[in-house]
Structure formats: C-alpha cells, structure tokens
Structure 1
Amino acid sequence: MAELLWSLQDSQLVARFQRCCGLFPASDEGPRESSAGPSEGETPALGVGHLPCANGKGGGGPPNGLRRDAAPQAYVQRYVVKNYFYYYLFRFSAALGQEVFYITFLPFTHWNIDPYLSRRLVIIWVLVMYVGQVTKDILKWPRPSSPPVVKLEKRVIAEFGMPSTHAMAATAISFTLLLSSMDRYQYPFVWGLVMAVLFSTLVCLSRLYTGMHTVLDVLGGLLITALLIGLTYPTWTFLDRLDSASPLFPVCVLVVPFFLCYNYPVSDYYSPTRADTTTILAAGAGVTVGFWINHFFQLVSKPTDSLPVIQNIPSLTTGMLVLGLTKFAVGILLILVVRQLVQNLSLQVLYSWFKVVTRNKEARQRLEIEVPYKFVTYTSVGICATTFVPMLHRFLGLP
C-alpha cells in the first residue's frame, strides 16, 4: 500500500499526463524578466510560453532539495503547447474550480434558481473548503516538483498540495446540487449524475494538466469530500432549519468562523491560504446570517414543511435568460459597491487602530489586519447577497 501511495505522489506521473495531452517543457534558455504567457491569458507565438516557478529550470512549488515549508521563489519556465484543444479545455476547467467561479455561481443560484439549493450548496462548500485548506497547512505536502512538471499557475504556488481543494470544491458542489435537487425537481437522474461526474472529472484532470497537484492530491481530495458528504447528508434537513432556531443563532454563526480564521494553522511564510479560507468562511457566515434575517423579519414567505416537487423544469426562454442576467448584473453591482465600501472602511479603522501607514500592502498580510478586514468585508457581502439584493430586485420589479 505504501508503495502504491508513493507512486501516486510521483511527479513523473503528472509529467507523463501533461506530455500525453501535448504540454511539454521548452528547452532551458534561462530566466526572463516577463512572466506573461498562456497562463496570463495570451496565446504564445509558436506555442511557447513562460511563467514563474520555484527554481531556475522549472515551475513553482518546492523543488528537489528545498524544505517543504520554504517559500517558493519567482523564476520563469518556458513551455510548448502542441495540443491546444486540451490546453484550452483544461485551462477552462481549472477556472471552474476557482473560488471566484463559486462566489458568482452561488449568488446566481440564489437569485435565479432556488434559495433552498443555494443554502445547501454554501454550507457544504464552506465545510469542504475549510477542511481542505486546513489539511493542506497541517500536512504541508509539497506540490509536484518542476522539472519534470510544467506549472501553469502562479498564485497558488506558495500553497501546499495535499489535498486538492479544487477537486474537493468541484465534487462537493456538483454532487450536493445533485442530491439536493433530485427530491425537489423532476428530471432524469442519470443525466444529472453524468453532469456531476463530468464536471468534477474535468476539474480534477485540470489540476494534473496545470501541474498543480499529484494524482494522490486529487484522489485525497475526492475521498475527503465523499466522506464529508456521506457524514453530513443525514443532517442536511436539520441544517436547513437552523436559521430559525434561536435569536442567538447569528452570534454563533459569526463567532465560530471568526475564531477558526484567527486560529488558522501558522505557516513559516505567507501564502494566500489563510486569506482565501477567511473569505470563504466569512461569505458562508454572511449568507447564513442573511437567511436568518430573512426568516426573523419575515422578509420572505415561510417555507412549507414538505418540499414541493416541480414536475418539469421550465424550459429556458429568451425572456428568462434576459431576466436572469439582469438580476445577476444588478446583484453583482450592489455586491461590488458594498464590498469596496466595507473593505475600505474596515482597513481604515484597522490601520488607525494598529497605527499602520495607509495603503501599506504588506500590512494587509498581518494576522490582526488580514483576518478582521476580510471577515467583515465578506460577511457583509454574504448578507447583502441574500437579503438586500432580493429586496432590490423586488423594488425594481424583477420577479
């Protein structure tokens, strides 16, 4: 068993997958100043690109001989793309696993599809992401080494590899949506299962193609997610009713996530993991408080005890599409305004409290500043998305 696990963690296995999909390292011509390449949104001339990595020869992550808790350095790696179908397919699939996709997809689901589904999706997404992020910083397993692996992303290079939170999020979202909707809507279950498997598979394979994870990282993420869904599934109905349990419920929802963020595992160098985790937990707390506000102040009609089954999912029409996009645009605009205002205000207060020079970007990474400002900002975003945006929609006559 140990030998099998070791082989699944081998960077050569990832490199072979990349070569089979037409992604090859270019000849070593030394580092360059610019890191713009296909990973930055440009198509390279003659199929060649380059981006930061952790040594002078290959991509990011702790290279051979480097301590696994040491911060990666910025260098440049060149690569050759020989199959652009796989390149664009997996780059698009990788984007579907980014937090920004879920932070837009979940509000869209709430405003245009079903608040019931969005509530469950948010709860499971937050749980899975927190467990995955903390596990990374406890295990501190390095990402695939480069060479031989080509790495196409630079923002997460400073993070550790095990487990793949992209794989966890994609699997959690797709299968939670499937399990939550099958008793509420009538549709061919097989097609829903196929879509869930296809979505999670594409995101998982994209983590190998981009060189960000080993096979063991991806499989570990899938197994942890399956375990979490299996353990929590019997409690989903109970969790749906927690938002009306007590007037003190919002206090618990805010205090516990903030405590978890402030006591996040300490790393020997700065990485975006703590900031991303705080953003996710804060957004989840804000959404949950927003649902409580809606119930406590009776801003929405009280849900029935038995969930209605819609016989047929309505066909998508041009009018529905335009209405959905309009509601989404209005909601995102209000969220962006709230986010910017709350972020600026919270930073100003914290800078003044800790006597930090304004606009000091490095100060934002300090624990006592980063966690409070992100938590307050994204809690406000979550409350705005679930409470004030629907109120604005009704005010504007957008059903």
Structure 2
Amino acid sequence: MGGGAWGHVTDSPCNQSVVRGRDSSHLVNSPSSRQSRLPSPPSPPRQAGAARSKFFPPMDFTVSNYFYYYLFRFSAALGEEIFYITFLPFTCWNINHCVSRRMIIVWSVVMYIGQVSKDILKWPRPHSPPVVKLEVKADAEYGMPSTHAMAATAISFTFFIVTVNQYKVGRDKPYPFELGLIAAFVFSTLVGLSRIYTGMHTVLDVIGGTLISAVLLALSYPAWDLIDHFLLTSPFCPVFSIVVPLLLCYNYPKLDYYSPTRGDTTTILGAGAGAIIGFWLTNQYTPLNSSSETFQLSFPPISSKRLMVMLAKFLVGVFVLLITRQFIRRLALSMLYYWYKVSTSDEEARKRLEIEVPYKFITYSSVGFCATVIVPVLHGLLELI
C-alpha cells in the first residue's frame, strides 16, 4: 500500500538530488527532480535473497502526514516482542488461562512455519531505493511470507474464536459476534498494512502471510480441544515442550549468511515452551477449566476498582518478566561463554548456533514459565485477585 505519508527522500550524501516519493511500496519522482538528478555511482552487488542494509544505508525522508506515520509505526509494533511480552501475559493474568494458552500455542506454530518458510522460499524484501525502509533490524531477513501478518491474523482470530465460545456479556446478552469479528479484522489489517507502509514487505508478502495463517487456523481448529487436553494432563508434556522446540531450532534451515530469523524463532518457541510447562504445572495443583466443557462465562462488570487491580497486576507482572529476562539472559550467556571459552566482549559469538539457540531458549522459556507460574503466585501474595 502506498502510505499516506509523503516525504522528501535524499538518496545519499554523494547524490544531492531530492526526490519525492512514498514511504512504502514505490517512489514517484517529480519532473524537476528527474531533470536535475545526477547519475549515482554503481552499487555493490547484493547477496542473493534478503535485502542487505549495509549495501543500501537508510534513506532520509520527511514525513508530511504524521497521522498515518504514527498509526502504522504503532501497528507495526503490534507484531514485535514488546507486544508479545505484554499482551499474551495480560490475557493470562486478567482474562482467562484458556484464552492465553490457545493463543500461545497457535502463535508458536504459525510463527515457526512462517519463519522457516522465509528461509526456504528466499524471496527478497522490497529494494531500497525506490522503497524507503523505516526499519533496519529486519532488513537482513527474507520477505515472503510476512510473519507480522501471520502473527496478527493468528492472535486476533484465535482470541475471537476462543472468547466467542466461552464468554457472554451478561445474563441475557450474547457475545457481540459482529464487533469481535470486526475488531479481529481491523487488528490484522492494520498490522499487515503497516508492513507495506514501512517498506518491509510487498502486498504479496502480506496477502501470503495472511492466507497461510488463515489456512493453519482452519486446519488446526478441530484439534484444539485434543491438543489442550494433552498439554494440560499428559505427564510427557514437559519433555515434549522442551525436546521438540529445541530439535526444531537446532535443525533450522541454514543460510549462507547470518540472519536473525533463527534467533527470533528460538525466542518464540522458547517462550511458548516455558508457558506451556507453566500451564501444565499449574493444572497439576489447581486444575484449570477443561476446554472441552460446554460453559460460558460472563464478562465481569467493569469498575474503577477492577481496572486498578488489572493495571496493578499488569505492571507487577511486566516488571517481573523484564527482570527475569535480563537476569536469565546474562546468566545464560555467561555460562555459555565460559563453557565454549569465548570472550564476553565478543558480540559476534552470540550469532553462533551453539550459543544463540540455548541462550535464547533458556531466557525466553524462563520468561514464559515466570508469566504463567511465578507472576500469578505473586499476584496472590499481593492479594491482586
């Protein structure tokens, strides 16, 4: 989508011509700038596949429509770690364990398939120029499919499907089906459009990601109850939740250069594994509601006191998760550096398979376990119920 924020874009210091174009999918030159443009020096050859930001440094741009700019930058953040580490635990602490559990399971599976598909298909991201890329970190990854679009579709529609089956507004009021469906559609659409606006994906990448996620939801939905029952009751759940994700991470598709996709995939699978083990352990001592039961819960009345309790639970929980993340991350890195006799100042060592996979898996599985076990216990001790 050509975003609503038009801007002046300067290619580089050595090319002083100013062109006028969109921030997202293409660049349209004004007649005056086309006449005054000097030929640019040839660019170094790109490696096959992913866009390499070191060859094409970020282009300067001027935002003339801040509404679209901030709307889509915020929407893009809904597919980042900051959203996952806040929204998914929030549903566990303030809504329902079943809702959170199913979203985490679907999110983990969908994201793994999306990340692996990128490195198998090896479709490049949009070139810059002509596209102005507003993000740099993800530029080393391939583009097809858009995992932001996949995650947004999976999370929003899983939340809608689970809540529409379990909740009603009041004694005589049914769940607002149309409102929930519209909210899920708007959420996933905004995230998808934000990836085009920021120049990180083509329209085909976003459509492909959305369709893949929709197909996976449709195929997996009949087995949700069975999977839920196994993960809550089977004595093999902890072993399964650790061994299978680790095997998938260690056997991730290899590339001819370093890409953050393997690390991101390990982060997702680690968080999912830790959360599932936490739900399993909680169910051993405090049986959770069986997902196969036919029941409907009423949304509790919203009062100022309840809002304050929800906010307090959220702030306490996120604070504990951030502390856990930093502490376990440093501890895991220190132990791995010592084991492999690597200098702690060697930042490149973190990209090695034998270090990246275990440190990220240990870190985020600890975060997931903390979110589903430690934080709820702390909420009980603080009487935030």
TM-score (norm 1): 0.84
- Does the CA-based 8 Å contact 1:182-1:189 persist in structure 2? yes
RMSD in angstroms over aligned alpha carbons?
2.1
**Match for 2:67 among 85, 91, 96?**
85
CA distance in 1 between partners of 2:289 and 2:129 (Å): 56
Residue 219 of structure 2 corresponds to 231
**Match for 1:173 among 155, 158, 175?**
155
- Does the CA-based 8 Å contact 1:243-1:295 persist in structure 2? no
Residue 49 of structure 1 corresponds to none
* Aligned-pair CA distance for 1:388: 1.1
CA distance in 1 between partners of 2:206 and 2:264 (Å): 19
- Does the CA-based 8 Å contact 2:146-2:206 persist in structure 1? yes
- Does the CA-based 8 Å contact 1:143-1:212 persist in structure 2? yes
**Match for 1:390 among 376, 379, 384?**
376
CA distance in 2 between partners of 1:27 and 1:246 (Å): 59
- Structure 1 stretches of 4+ with a deviation exceeding 4 A read 62-66
3-state SS in 2 of match to 1:134: helix
3-state SS in 1 of match to 2:60: strand
Residue 49 of structure 2 corresponds to 68
- 1:266-297: CA deviation from partner (whole Å, max 9, x where unpaired): 1111121111110000000001111111122x
3-state SS in 2 of match to 1:26: strand
Letter in 2 for 1:309: Q
- Does the CA-based 8 Å contact 1:110-1:117 persist in structure 2? yes
1:268 aligns with 2:256: yes
CA distance in 2 between partners of 1:31 and 1:372 (Å): 44
CA distance in 2 between partners of 1:106 and 1:75 (Å): 35
- Does the CA-based 8 Å contact 1:31-1:76 persist in structure 2? no
- Does the CA-based 8 Å contact 1:286-1:383 persist in structure 2? yes
- Does the CA-based 8 Å contact 1:64-1:145 persist in structure 2? no
Letter in 2 for 1:164: S
Residue 243 of structure 2 corresponds to 255
Residue 363 of structure 1 corresponds to 349
* Aligned-pair CA distance for 1:393: 0.8
CA distance in 2 between partners of 1:31 and 1:80 (Å): 19
CA distance in 2 between partners of 1:221 and 1:31 (Å): 38
* Aligned-pair CA distance for 1:95: 1.2
Residue 197 of structure 2 corresponds to 209
CA distance in 2 between partners of 1:107 and 1:302 (Å): 16
Residue 297 of structure 2 corresponds to 310
Letter in 1 for 2:186: L
**Match for 2:9 among 6, 23, 26?**
26
CA distance in 2 between partners of 1:394 and 1:27 (Å): 56
- Does the CA-based 8 Å contact 1:71-1:269 persist in structure 2? no
* Aligned-pair CA distance for 1:314: 2.7
* Aligned-pair CA distance for 1:353: 1.0
* Aligned-pair CA distance for 1:326: 0.8
CA distance in 1 between partners of 2:337 and 2:164 (Å): 49
CA distance in 1 between partners of 2:46 and 2:289 (Å): 58
* Aligned-pair CA distance for 1:26: 1.8
* Aligned-pair CA distance for 1:243: 2.3
CA distance in 2 between partners of 1:116 and 1:282 (Å): 19
Q: Which stretches in structure 2 are left out of the alignment for 5+ residues?
A: 16-38, 169-174
Residue 348 of structure 1 corresponds to 334
CA distance in 1 between partners of 2:332 and 2:348 (Å): 16
- 1:174-232: CA deviation from partner (whole Å, max 9, x where unpaired): 10011111110122100001101111111111111101000110010011001100100
Letter in 2 for 1:150: V
1:380 aligns with 2:366: yes
* Aligned-pair CA distance for 1:396: 1.2
CA distance in 1 between partners of 2:92 and 2:354 (Å): 33
3-state SS in 2 of match to 1:260: helix
CA distance in 2 between partners of 1:69 and 1:336 (Å): 32
Q: Aligned pairs, how many?
A: 352
- 1:231-267: CA deviation from partner (whole Å, max 9, x where unpaired): 0000111111112443222111100001101111111
- Does the CA-based 8 Å contact 2:46-2:52 persist in structure 1? no
- 1:31-66: CA deviation from partner (whole Å, max 9, x where unpaired): 79xxxxxxxxxxxxxxxxxxxxxxx98xxxx99865
Answer with 140-149 or 64-73: which moved more. 64-73
TM-score (norm 2): 0.87
CA distance in 2 between partners of 1:133 and 1:217 (Å): 13
- 1:108-155: CA deviation from partner (whole Å, max 9, x where unpaired): 110011111000000000011100100001111100112221111111
**Match for 2:209 among 203, 218, 221?**
221
* Aligned-pair CA distance for 1:167: 0.5
**Match for 1:142 among 103, 124, 137?**
124
